[in-house]
Structure 1
């Protein structure tokens, strides 16, 4: 039973639609207000509790018995009614079974087989871009590895790969609030599902690709044949949009902080930390929801069984209770517990792939790029994702 109106009236409330375009454009002041109001804050416009403080976000993500994903992780009932059962929207033991299958090609051991190819492709890409006067940091750089290599590894039929970015963006729009963007995403999701059922069939996917491995798992009895199409969709968003947006943020932050780029060039060992710091500061995923399975005390508020909770990764990652000067970009910051890749059993299965792609790009840039010049980025408007649509960039050769 969800919280009564009396329970909510006694709790701190924030009268802003977190999925509105004005908030999407500049969310961080709103997140700071939510953190200041309390551990759990009621959002009347969204019919959700918001959890924005770092310690509370990590605790909620770690407590998958209380904060359940199996009833969907979206901010609107329509999406939650059709999503449960995939990797993102499932609970143990189903989640553990599915993750073993989906995450197999994303492990460090599996990625070792493609590491050299990704590094060589990134090196050639950066070499070409140094010769350009200007280029679009999103289309020409951030999207390049995911579209040219990762989509091939996924192994969808060639004629559908050009739609993968559009489909992935729609998936995340659908996972937001009950608004026009979520509504507009539904026919695109229907198109994607039709493609996975009618075109990404066993005989048309790339042999040895990740989707083919799903068919192999079904043949081995590890998953049901009906789960193959659902799980192949789990590769679309995590392997594409989130990595692309994280790469764009990294590029922009290094371009607007030349002192930080200089430190990375002088100490390439800082590459991994620079990536983590960019993901912390500009989390590609703002947050997902969970459904409370039982009453749970958070600060002065009792979240009751049946309440839906929005867990704000992007707010937690800028919590002044956790970090000094959290709004600053510092490649030397000690980072062991940001939640830009999530936390707990639902931590991003593709985080090692994302890090490998970004690490390969930065390693190539360290050798060839003395200075990064960036123009004004154009923000992509999406209910859940934060990233750029376009980003003017120029590389000054070393």
Structure 2
């Protein structure tokens, strides 16, 4: 096995200035080599598309079961019971994944399409009564928090807990920095609320949650697994879609020519969302753990060492994408790794795409121009690239 000397950087990908603008560090990591050692955390970093894609699709060599954050579950106690999807590998991962894939697949979502499109039109009409508004709170947060909890079957009360819980869960994949400390006081309260919603009796009939429990009744998963599978929906089902919607709204507010393309062809709504997920990468990073002395990019990563995959950097790698910094509806973005890739690819991606398609279709029919009405403000998270606020003004069609 031929090995190369791995370059080492003292950079901190979780520093506030990097989270605010990760692009310079991403470029430095890609330029440094296919594998880079990050000395501050003692982890190996992958920032080029080829190596990130390879690690995502080789679950045997790069395991998720030791945690997809900096914490190594081989040696550390996780802060909550690990996810049966995100933080598990086959065979433990297989049955829960199959159950959720059936519930959240394109065929199953067809029954929600008309209702979600109608909901999007109603919301957009209400929002457009004002010519200026915050696109984050009024649209990117409002629509997922309106339709997704209903689809899961959650009761109305307490839904305001979903975003702060998800925010902390994604912060916890990073180091114990100020962002984690900020969310720590509410962890017990938020976790308690989320765990309570996963019980069968809390979930309305016919929703995603009830169908997970029905799968347990059939023996597809165990009754002990059912609440953890429901929890996976509540952890990763809202924040990521919110920030994906924020990304595509920001893209259109800053690329009026691409907005014109969407208005001329609303069928491009899904392409637009995927291109925004590539361009902004709401999920910026995830970790894996080497299951043995594992070679990648000419470097041998020792057994048990953490590998930090920069999904955002891979999605802007000029070795893979022409003009990666351009938001372009003429591009085929389908190979992006913003939803992961391989066995652990995001099981809820079809839900996110349907939500985005509904909102963008409603907007495209009603809005001639959307533009920034002030500087947008980033929301910092150890894992997610997000907006806190995005003032926009619109001109009606």
Match of 1:306 in 2: 304
* Matched residue SS, 1:123: helix
Matching residue of 2:362: 364
For 2:38, which of 14, 32, 43 is the aligned residue? 43
Residue of structure 2 aligned with 1:72, choices 67, 71, 95: 67
Whether the 8 Å CA contact 2:274–2:334 is kept in 1: the answer is no
Partner of 1:395: 394
Matching residue of 2:8? 13
Q: For 2:197 and 2:152, how far apart are their aligned partners in 1?
A: 14
Match of 1:251 in 2: 249
SS at match of 1:379: strand
CA contact (8 A) 2:287 2:308 kept: yes
Q: Which segment drifts farther, 52-61 or 76-85?
A: 76-85
Mapped contact 1:274–1:332 kept (Cα < 8 A): no
State the partner residue of 1:30.
25
1:232 is matched with which residue?
A: 230
Is the CA contact 1:270–1:332 (under 8 Å) kept in the aligned structure 2?
no
1:120-135 equivalences in 2 (<5 Å): 120-135=118-133
Unaligned runs of 5+ residues in structure 2 are: none
For 1:111-190, what aligned pairs fall within 5 Å after superposition?
111-190=109-188
Deviations 1:139-172 (A, max 9, x none): 1111122111111111223323221111111110
- After TM superposition, the structure 1 = structure 2 runs for residues 239-318 of structure 1, keeping only pairs within 5 Å, are 239-318=237-316
Match of 1:56 in 2: 51
**Aligned partners of 1:30 and 1:317: how far apart in 2?**
14
Question: TM-score scaled to structure 1, two decimals?
Answer: 0.93
Q: 1:189 to 1:87 in 2, by over 3 A?
A: farther
In 1, Cα distance between equivalents of 2:47 and 2:233 = 28
Deviations 1:113-145 (A, max 9, x none): 100011111112222222212111011111122
Shift of residue 98, structure 1, vs aligned partner: 0.9
Aligned Cα RMSD in Å? 1.9
SS at match of 2:287: strand
Paired positions, count: 391
Relative to structure 1, the CA distance from residue 377 to residue 215 in structure 2 (aligned partners, 3 Å threshold; closer, same or farther) is same
| Alpha-carbon distance in structure 1 between the residues aligned to 2:200 and 2:358 | 32
Partner of 2:379: 380
- 1:106 is the counterpart of 2:104: yes
**Counterparts in 2 of 1:323-334, with a 5 A limit?**
323-334=321-332
Q: Residue 170 of structure 1 contacts residue 188 of structure 1 at CA under 8 Å; is this kept in 2?
A: no
Q: 1:189 to 1:231 in 2, by over 3 A?
A: farther
Q: Which runs of 5+ in 1 are unaligned?
A: 1-6
Q: Please give the alpha-carbon distance, in whole angstroms, between the structure 1 residues aligned to 2:63 and 2:79.
A: 14
| CA-CA distance at 1:395 after TM superposition | 1.8
Of residues 348, 351, 361, the one that matches 1:350 is 348
Conservation of the 8 A alpha-carbon contact between 1:72 and 1:83: no
CA contact (8 A) 2:47 2:309 kept: yes
Q: Distance in 1 between matches of 2:320 and 2:197?
A: 48
Between the aligned partners of 1:277 and 1:265, the Cα distance in structure 2 is: 16
- Correspondent of 1:210 among 202, 208, 216: 208
Cα separation, 2, equivalents of 1:125 and 1:226: 38
Distance 1:85 1:331, change over 3 A: closer
TM-score by length of 2: 0.93
Moved more, 79-88 or 231-240: 79-88
Whether the 8 Å contact between 1:292 and 1:303 is mirrored in structure 2 is yes
The change in CA–CA distance for 1:217 and 1:196 in structure 2 (over 3 A counts) is farther
Counterparts of 1:161 and 1:35, CA distance in 2:
40
> What is the deviation of 1:81?
6.5
Structure 1 93/200 Cα, relative in aligned 2: closer, same or farther at 3 Å?
Answer: closer
Q: Distance in 2 between matches of 1:315 and 1:80?
A: 27
Kept in 2: contact 1:165–1:241 (CA 8 A):
yes
* CA-CA distance at 1:334 after TM superposition: 2.6
Aligned CA distance change for structure 1 residues 196 and 364 (closer, same or farther; 3 Å)? closer
C-alpha displacement of 1:367: 1.1
SS, match of residue 143 in structure 1: helix
Q: Quick one: distance in 1 between partners of 2:171 and 2:227?
A: 20
Which range moved further: 219-228 or 181-190?
181-190
